[in-house]
Chains A and B, each alone.
Chain A
Amino acid sequence: MRHVLIPHLARSLRLHLRRGPEALVTVFFFVMIAALFALSLGGGQDIVARAAPGIIWTAAALAALLALESLYHRDYDDGTFDLVLMSPVSVFAVVAAKMLCHWLLTGLLLLAALLVVAPMLFIPFAQLGVLILSLFCGTLYLSLLGGFGACLTLGSRKPGILLVLLILPLFLPMLLLGVLAVGASLAGMAAKAYVLLQFALLLPALPLAPYAASVCLTMNVRSS
């Protein structure tokens, strides 16, 4: 498993980074949505600070889903997945590598971008710890769900928009818990319970999502 995962991860990362600034588009999108929300709310500190958890979570979800199509559907179009299925490597490991790659390219960069977004939304740096922990859970969950959605829509006519429509309802529980966690920490209350519940959602998805995604990938690629 390990000697499948790491080369595939390296390959996906290399391919993506070779396309230049495309990897940064996600971060730019995230920051811009946050700025747009803050501006459209009038920019007042009280209202923006109150809306901050919701803004960050919505923006992160939209930004993370943006990168899915190029990561998965390009490999479908150029026949990489056909080769994967023909070779004896584990499809599970390949999909897991893709999901990890997606997280490194979106989740990790979004967490770094919080350093810019948090002051924009008047979030004190003291509360950044809970925000990062909770968003770590959320972005990883998005990478898992997103990978499942991407494999589900391989070979469909309009994968990009379809995938977003399928994933967002399934992402709702994580989003609500994340908003509760960040909201509680901003209000000076204990956020531990919500963060633990977020992990409780994340952990079963760690094996199940790559499994479901590998089933979809096999189904969609084989029959074409």
Chain B
Amino acid sequence: MPDDECEVVLIKTFANPTRFLALIRWVMPTASVLAVALLAAGLWLAFFGSPTDYQQGQTVRIMYIHVPAAWMALFVYTSMAAAAFVGLVWKHVVAELYARAAAPLGAGFTLICLVTGALWGQPMWGTWWAWDARMTSVLVLFFLYLGYIALSDAFDDPQKGINAGAVLLIVGVINVPIIKFSVDWWNTLHQPASVTRMAMPAVDLSMLWPLVVMAAAFKALFVALACLRLRTEIQRRRLAVRQMQQAEHAA
């Protein structure tokens, strides 16, 4: 029986990730090249190729970093929860490792979103921070990321950390809409108009283009970095299996 179990573990550890590593071998360079090209184009468009806002002046250019980062913050968390579900149900090794690989990247995007938001808020609203519903929700999302990272690192057995983290992600993703709703409600009742949100006009095409290009650049950057981190995780796991085997032989 132990032999059988061992074999199943080996098949799962090697067969599937090997195919995945072959995939990564061309996805990662493609995504990297794409990310560099799109970032260059997007930044050029954002700084030189787009007009200043008639109200906000130059500061509107912060939007081209801030908004794509916010999109990525939500996207990465959702993708992590989906992967965690797949990993828990089908014991899919790559899906299990994905959440661990993506979490610091998602936390990074969330932090970028918060920091650029503060930098944008200071000249526009006269304050670095306000307990506005959206800002509070993003802050809580950041806490959820940090909680996941702390939990998945807190076990001596990495597999336990992955499993516990997966359950937390699924519970968290159910909670994100509830948090958003409650904060929205609390905010509208608690402190009306502390921050006068600028009424977002229909975005002009000259501003939409840089935004779209930057969003694509962020996504490509994420794919490249996530591939890199996934490869590291897979190889780290292989190394652990190899060491276990050697120890078994020596015994």
Contacts and interface: CB of A to CB of B under 8 A. Distances in A.
A88 interface: no
B150 A162 contact: yes
Interface in A150-168: 152-153, 155-159, 162, 165-166, 168
Contacts, number: 82
A133 interface: no
Nearest to B143: A169
Interface stretch (B78-86, B106-114, B165-173): B165-173
A148 B171 contact: yes
B190 A180 contact: yes
A156 B151 contact: yes
Interface in B156-208: 156-157, 159-161, 163-164, 167-168, 171-172, 175, 178-179, 181-183, 185-186, 189-190
B140 A158 contact: no
Nearest to B181: A173
B156 A157 contact: yes
A215 B168 CA distance: 11
B140 A172 contact: yes
Interface string A156-191: 111100100110111011001101100000000000
Interface stretch (A20-28, A103-111, A216-224): A216-224
A157 B153 CA distance: 9
A212 interface: yes
Contact of A176 (B147, B163, B182): B182
A22 B166 CA distance: 34
Nearest to B172: A170
B155 A155 contact: yes
A162 B151 contact: yes
A169 B144 contact: yes
B164 A219 contact: yes
Interface in A72-119: none
A47 to B, nearest CB: 17
- B interface, by DSSP: helix, strand, loop or mixed? helix
Contact of A173 (B151, B155, B163, B178): B178
A169 B160 contact: no
B154 interface: yes
Nearest to B183: A176
Interface residues of A, number: 28
Contacts of A155: 155, 160
Nearest to B144: A169
A224 to B, nearest CB: 8
A170 B182 CA distance: 12
Contacts of B164: 152-153, 156, 216, 219-220
B34 interface: no
A153 B179 CA distance: 23
Residue among A152, A176, A179, A216 with most chain B CB within 10 A: A176
Question: Of residues A157, A169, A180, A212, which shows the largest number of chain B Cβ atoms within 10 Å of its Cβ?
Answer: A169
Contacts of A170: 171-172, 175
B216 interface: no
Contacts of A180: 185-186, 189-190
Contact of B154 (A156, A172, A215): A156
A157 B154 contact: yes
Contacts of A176: 182-183, 185-186
A181 to B, nearest CB: 11
A201 interface: yes
A223 B156 contact: no
30 contacts: A148-B171, A152-B151, A152-B164, A152-B168, A155-B155, A156-B155, A156-B160, A157-B155, A159-B154, A162-B150, A162-B151, A165-B150, A166-B150, A169-B147, A170-B172, A170-B175, A173-B178, A173-B179, A173-B182, A176-B182, A179-B186, A180-B189, A180-B190, A212-B167, A215-B167, A216-B167, A219-B160, A219-B163, A220-B164, A224-B160
Instruction: Rank and list the top 10 A-B pairs by shortest CB-CB distance, nearest first.
Output: A173-B182, A156-B154, A176-B186, A169-B143, A166-B147, A176-B182, A173-B178, A219-B163, A169-B140, A152-B164
Interface of B: 140, 143-144, 146-147, 150-151, 154-157, 159-161, 163-164, 167-168, 171-172, 175, 178-179, 181-183, 185-186, 189-190
Interface of A: 148, 152-153, 155-159, 162, 165-166, 168-170, 172-173, 176-177, 179-180, 201, 212, 215-216, 219-220, 223-224
